[in-house]
Structures are given as structure tokens and as C-alpha cells.
Amino acid sequence: MPAISAGKVLVTGANGYVAAWVVKALLEQGFAVRGTVRSDSKANHLRSLFKSYGDKLEFAIVNDIVKEGAFDEAVKGVDAIAHTASPFHTHAEDPSELIVPAVQGTVGILSSALKHGSSVQRIVVTSSCGSILEELPVPKTFTEADWNERALREVETKGAAASAADKYCASKALAERAAWKYWNDHKGEVGWDLVVVNPSYVYGPILHEVDKPEHLNESMRMFYDAAVAGTYDKDMLNWGSSWIDVRDLGLAHALAVKTPEAGGERIIVSQSVFKLQDFVNVAHRLYPQLPAGDTDFNPATAVYFQAYDTSKVRKLFGIKLHTIEEMVKDSLEDFKARGWIQ
Ligand code: NDP
């Protein structure tokens, strides 16, 4: 059960929303970090944010994770890898726009680690609860045994006409399956093992560089549109799933690198169910100038469809998770400090 308690961790897509918190958690746990970014200028913000860590943080340029051998140089000399880079957006026409980078990026880093990562002992792949959940007409508590077969079928049969959510979920399910297959096919040849982290929707304050709300990552843009801009109708405000605080997810990645027993595990990382209106209610209470949203919403009668069994992550990592109050409050304080809330 390889895992590391010290050394250097490669974090892919380091300038992303989740990855910036992964970098922070790893540095705080005493690791050195090499982050990949598409161009050197994309590293400047993180360099300045973490300057107190000096040469414990360095960067490598990987301008397209799809390219053959993209990670061949970046994996050299690292002890573990956290692969977070993957597209998450809702504007893909053809599903391949998401599926190709998700799958090839994942297989690419594993094969670079096989060929050039002689010191690598553990690889953590950021998958998603999107590869687990299925849109069902009845509520369900999903476990690590579930796979989103429905999204895979939808994308296979409908192609570009599949929903944006199904295209994204299929990209994550296919990438995760490819990771497990690669590891099973090659585990006799490598000195590392594989951990897959499956977060639900991720919310919470921002560390990475964002100049305006329109440029927020997908999940936090939804949060902003619901709680601050007030651009969602009742149907959208009554949409929900399950969520996790980005700070807890960052820490979960660091613990996935460190915890021997996590090897070979698929791990759901999730706090609890939500509807966007639950976030709006907390936000409106804290900042009465923000929209009230759907004032008819009653959390006691709302139906929460996608819950998760989180016994594995609690047993393995025992993280005290941020509450909805803390997540909303800290996200709004972050927005306020950026001048996005008057
Ligand atoms: P971001 O969009 O903030 O970050 C994605 C990162 O991946 C960016 O650094 C981006 O680089 C990089 N990237 C994407 N495509 C490529 C490519 N072709 N070549 C090089 N780099 C690329 O997303 P999140 O932080 O939200 O997501 C991070 C991970 O977490 C993803 O794997 C996502 O599926 C997963 N996840 C996210 C959830 C959420 O709610 N946010 C929920 C569950 C899982 P650049 O910025 O330069 O384009």
C-alpha cells in the first residue's frame, strides 16, 4: 500500500478552482508541490499567493493534456500525483469536447508515470460523483458501487443532443473507468497505486485567479447566479444534488496522498444534499440585500434526490466538514472582498 508522508506532489491544472485548494492543503501538510499550468503566466497568481513556501512550490508547463506524452517531463522526480485537470463546463456541443481531454488526460498521466515516473508511489485522480449518480425519478443514496450508466447510454445514443450534464458526467465516468483499467492492466509494472476521489458539487471560497464573476468555474458561477445575481427562476432554484466544501476537498486530496489504506479505493467526498434555494436562504439571511429567491420553498417538503453514503471517507480521513452556513458565509465574504457584493 504505497503512500507518502513527505516529498513532492505533482498537481495537474494547478490554477483551477479545486486544484488551488489541493496545492494549499499539500503545502500545509509539509509536501513540496509541482503544479502544471498551460502557460507560465497562469502560475503567477499562485506564486504570489504561496510565496511564503519559497522553493517548495514550482511549476511545469503542460499546455494541452490531450497531447501524446504531455506529462512525460512533469512526472519526473515526483513522489505522488494529484490529477485534477479536466474540463468542467456546460457549453460542449459534441461530447468529445469533454470526453477526449478527460480520458486522454487521465490515461496520459498514468502512462507518463509508467514510463518516466520511477519515483511515483501514489496517484490520486479527481473523478466526480457525476460518474456515480444517475438522474432518477426517486431519491437514492448512492455508494461507491454505483456508476452513472444512464449518462453513458444517453451520450452514446443521443451524441450532441444529450444534455450538458450527461455529457460532463459521461466524460468523468469514462475517464475514471479508463484510470481503473489502466491500473489493473499495469499494476504489476508500476511502483504506485491508484486512489480515485469522487466529489459531489464543489462550493466555497476561491483561491485561484478570477477577475470577474462571469469567469468563475462552473459550480461557483451557479452559486453566484443563484445567491448574488438572482438570475435563476424557481425551477432552477429548486434544482440540487449534494455538495462539498472546496477546502475539505483540498484536504481530502492531501489525505488521499498520505493514507496507505486509501490505495485502490474509490472515495465519495460529500457533505450533504442541497437545493440552490438552501444556499439562497442562508445568503439572504446574512446579506438581506441579496435576492430572497423562491419564498415558497420549504426544505421540510422538498425532495432531495441525490444523497451519498459517505461512510468510507469518514472512516479513512475523518475530516470535520464545513457546514452549509460556513460555506455560504465564507464564499460571500470572499465575493464581498472582491467587490462583487455591495
Ligand atoms: P476548473 O475549470 O477551475 O479547473 C480545471 C483545470 O483543468 C484548469 O486548470 C484548466 O486549465 C485545466 N484543463 C482543462 N482542460 C485542459 C487541457 N486540455 N489542457 C490543460 N489543462 C486543462 O474546474 P474545477 O476546479 O471545478 O474542476 C477540477 C476537477 O474537479 C475536474 O476534474 C472536475 O471534473 C472535478 N470536479 C469538479 C466539481 C465542481 O463542482 N467544481 C465537482 C466534481 C468534480 P485552464 O484554466 O488553463 O483552462
52-103: per-residue pLDDT in tens?
999 999 999 999 999 999 999 999 999 999 999 999 999 999 999 999 999 9
Residue 224 resides in a domain? no
Tell me, using a 6 A CB cutoff, whether residue 101 lines ligand 1.
Answer: yes
Average pLDDT of the residues in 4-12: 95
* Å from CA of 208 to ligand 1 middle: 12
Nearest CA to ligand 1 atom 29: 84
pLDDT of residue 4: 87
On whether the CB atoms of residues 304 and 240 are closer than 8 A, the answer is yes
Tell me, using a 6 A CB cutoff, whether residue 13 lines ligand 1.
Answer: yes
Which structural domain range is residue 121 located in? 8-203+243-270+309-316
Band (340; pLDDT cuts 50, 70, 90): very high
Average pLDDT of the residues in 242-265: 98
Tell me, using a 6 A CB cutoff, whether residue 197 lines ligand 1.
Answer: no
Tell me, using a 6 A CB cutoff, whether residue 59 lines ligand 1.
Answer: no
Separation CA 196–CA 132 (nearest Å): 12
Band (206; pLDDT cuts 50, 70, 90): very high
pLDDT of residue 3: 85
* Å from CA of 92 to ligand 1 middle: 14
Residue 278 resides in a domain? no
Best probe residue, ligand 1, of 65, 84, 313 (max atoms within 8 Å of C-beta): 84
Best probe residue, ligand 1, of 11, 18, 271 (max atoms within 8 Å of C-beta): 18
- Which residues, 6 or more positions from 67, have their beta carbon under 8 angstroms from its beta carbon? 108
Band (328; pLDDT cuts 50, 70, 90): very high
Residue 98 resides in a domain? yes
| pLDDT tops 90 at residue 342 | no
Q: Closest by alpha carbon to 202, among 253, 139, 162?
A: 253
| pLDDT tops 80 at residue 338 | yes
**Torsion of the alpha carbons at 163, 164, 170 and 173, rounded to the nearest 10:** -130
Residues making up the chain, counted from first to last = 342
Q: Closest by alpha carbon to 265, among 167, 178, 180, 162?
A: 180
Atom of ligand 1 nearest to the CA of 89: 2
Summary mean pLDDT of the chain: 97
Residue 238 resides in a domain? no
Average pLDDT of the residues in 322-337: 98
Between 143 and 3, whose confidence is greater? 143
Residue 133 resides in a domain? yes
Q: Closest by alpha carbon to 127, among 27, 208, 190, 202?
A: 202
**Dihedral (CA of 253, 254, 257, 259) sign:** negative
Q: What are the cell numbers at 202?
A: 464543489
* Å from CA of 298 to ligand 1 middle: 34
* Å from CA of 81 to ligand 1 middle: 15
Residue % of the chain over a pLDDT of 90: 98
Residue 223 resides in a domain? no
Tell me, using a 6 A CB cutoff, whether residue 171 lines ligand 1.
Answer: no
pLDDT of residue 153: 97
Atom of ligand 1 nearest to the CA of 201: 40
| pLDDT tops 60 at residue 203 | yes
For the chain, what is the domain count? 1
* Å from CA of 107 to ligand 1 middle: 16
Band (31; pLDDT cuts 50, 70, 90): very high
CATH number, position 174: 3.40.50.720
Average pLDDT of the residues in 167-172: 98
Q: What are the cell numbers at 114?
A: 509508467
Q: How many CB atoms lie within 10 A of CB 336?
A: 13
* Å from CA of 83 to ligand 1 middle: 10
| pLDDT tops 80 at residue 117 | yes
Residue % of the chain over a pLDDT of 70: 100
b/e 312-325 (16+ beta carbons within 10 angstroms → b): bbeebbebebbebe
Separation CA 170–CA 164 (nearest Å): 10
Residue 222 resides in a domain? no
Tell me, using a 6 A CB cutoff, whether residue 88 lines ligand 1.
Answer: yes
Average pLDDT of the residues in 307-335: 97
Best probe residue, ligand 1, of 61, 66, 86, 167 (max atoms within 8 Å of C-beta): 86
pLDDT of residue 1: 55
* Å from CA of 277 to ligand 1 middle: 25
Q: What are the cell numbers at 71?
A: 506529462
Separation CA 110–CA 210 (nearest Å): 30
What does each C-alpha distance from 41 to 24, 53, 59, 81, 209 come to in angstroms?
19, 19, 11, 22, 11
Q: How many CB atoms lie within 10 A of CB 260?
A: 12
Residue 215 resides in a domain? no
Band (213; pLDDT cuts 50, 70, 90): very high
